[in-house]
Amino acid sequence: MRNFLKTGHAVLFYFAFISMFFFTILCMTFAVSTAQADVLVGTDGPPPSGAVRRFDNNGVFLGNFTSGGPNLDGPAAVHFGPDGNLYVLTSSNRVFRYNGSTGVFIDEFIPLGILDDATDMIFGPDGDLYIANNEGNNPIGEGGEVLRFDGATGAIIGTFILNGAGQGPPTNSDTVCEAMSMAFDPNGKFFYLGNDPRQCNGGTDAYNVMRFNAGTGIYIDTPFPAGFLGLYDPNGMTIGPDCNLYISSEGLAFGGNAANPNVIYRLNLSSGDNIPDTIEEFVPSNGLLDNNGPFPPGTGLIEPEKIVFGPDGNLYVTSGDTAEVYRYDSITGALIGGGAFIAQGLGQGSSDPKGITFFPGESLQCVLPITTIPTLNEWGLIAMAGVLGIIAIFAIRRKKAVV
């Protein structure tokens, strides 16, 4: 009998230990990472080739990350793929693949002749590669399609988002035109940042954000129509760790006029249905126009390009006109450090930084909060686990008292 009780105590002890172990793992799953990582920035120049350059978490230049292969001109987007290698979209409409650890050139993942005026790329949750392509066979003028490629082989799968007519209502105001950037959210939606098709028909630029089913590419709606908040010439879009949508906007209009230049907008999607609760200037306009330069180092964000959240949770933005990278607090939007995180010239007289990511790994991803209420059976299991844990602790303490 005494051996049985001892065995029972052991079982209860191990049950309590295992329960606490898995509870700890669950808590760690929802913890925000504060890990540090090096920053990789795709830049032009100096001649004869651009490169993906590496900086430490203080913005100090460490050298070129990429090496070998063809000239790397205009690296517009830089991402690590599911295989751990680095993929770079160039202004020559090719995608190069580099070893994710050493930066050594592997191959031309997507060769010349398939893309035309490609502006951005992103790996989807399915592991495939999606590329915004602007000169497709568009019946209304400029392109704006999103092409899908096999994430392992680079073989083209097809057109994920069709260009031109057929995506929206007959008004033609909700159809795909000039593509700028893309983002997948954790709710199974695909956001497309582009130009209103009226511009593609010869009208004035008017940028919007459209939403599609991330699995099928079927159009859902245009939650942020053309002209909202003076959005103009946007270049980057990402989902933040808070699961909200962030967009960089140059804000420049024809003739050098300005409408909110150099802004990072935050579109609050915290309700979970992707309908914005608020739309705000997360990083407010500094009023600086690119045609008033050149600007001294650290002046401020001019022509914001790609935006990404780092492993430290902060927002990093490439400043195209000043060849700098700025870093902002992810909660308040305040500039960190009072100036550029990576100084003008980016280490070697480089220019026009666009694509940005982190090494090792990618940017911080959003995690949806737990909103599902447990069922009656689930509450019963939770209560039973709690009771058994209390009994185990009581039994252990009683055994110690008897001894």
Q: What is the pLDDT of residue 387?
A: 58
Which range has the worst mean pLDDT, 49-63, 107-121, 216-230, 238-252? 216-230
Per-residue burial over 338-350, b = 16 or more CB atoms within 10 Å of its CB, e = otherwise: eebbbbbbbbeeb
Q: Are strands 279-283 and 38-43 parallel, antiparallel or unpaired?
A: unpaired
- Give the separation between CA 167 and CA 170, rounded to whole angstroms: 9
For residues 322-341, average pLDDT = 92
The rounded distance, in Å, linking the Cα atoms of 379 and 222 is: 40
Lowest model confidence (mean pLDDT) among 41-45, 130-134, 155-159: 41-45
pLDDT digits (tens, 9 = 90+) for 250-267: 875 433 445 678 889 998
Q: Which residue has the higher pLDDT, 29 or 290?
A: 290
pTM: 0.78
Segment 174-195 shows an average pLDDT of 82
Mean pLDDT on 104-124: 93
Q: What residues contact residue 10 under an 8 Å CB cut-off, 6+ apart? A: none
pLDDT at position 208: 79
Pair of tokens at residue 11: 């079982």
92: DSSP letter:
T
User: Alpha helices, DSSP H only, in 143-293?
Assistant: 197-200
Q: Specify the pLDDT at position 31.
A: 40
Q: Which of 269, 322, 266 is nearest to 295 (CA)?
A: 322
Residue 251, phi-psi category: left (phi > 0), alpha (psi -120 to 50), beta (remainder): left
Query: Which residue type does 335 have?
Result: L
pLDDT per residue as tens digits for the range 271-286: 555 555 577 889 988 8
Bridge-based pairing of strands 61-64 and 263-267 is unpaired
CA separation, residue 20 to residues 16, 26, 351, 356, 391 (Å): 6, 10, 52, 40, 14
Is the pLDDT at 310 greater than 80? The verdict is: yes
Amino acid at 52: V
Closest C-alpha among 160, 288, 303, 141 to residue 235: 303
CATH of 50-359, one of 2.120.10.30, 1.10.3720.10, 3.40.50.2300, 3.40.190.10: 2.120.10.30
Give the confidence band of 362 by pLDDT, cuts at 50, 70, 90.
Answer: low
Q: How far apart are CA 318 and CA 295, in angstroms?
A: 15
Output the CA torsion 350→352→358→361 (10° steps).
Answer: -110
Single-letter code of the amino acid located at 31: A
115 sits in which H/E element: none
The full set of domain ranges for the chain reads: 2-25+376-402, 50-359
